[in-house]
Amino acid sequence: MSKIVIDEARCKGCGLCTIACPRKLVTLSDVPNSLGYTVAIFSEAEKCTGCALCAEMCPDVAIMVFKEPQP
């Protein structure tokens, strides 16, 4: 299983990560953050493959992907 961490302070809500995710696990929030941006949110961690396409697309380097090592 993989884990995605999104830094809401850096995210401007451009949506590029939502397009990049092949499984559509990254979406934009309905609620704006303190700066007024609808930031990216991650759901359904059990379905994430850890491909890191979302992080590669992020122009603000607001996404980090962590993969658990396979036994």
- Kindly list the structural domains of the chain, giving each domain's residue range(s) and its CATH number in brackets, ordered by start: 2-67 (3.30.70.20)
pTM for this entry: 0.86
Rounded to the nearest 10°, the torsion over CA 4, 52, 59, 9 is 10
The per-residue pLDDT for 2 is 85
Question: Where are the alpha helices (H) located in the chain, listed in sequence order?
Answer: 16-20, 53-57
Mean pLDDT by 10 residues, the chain (71 residues): 90 96 95 91 91 96 87 66
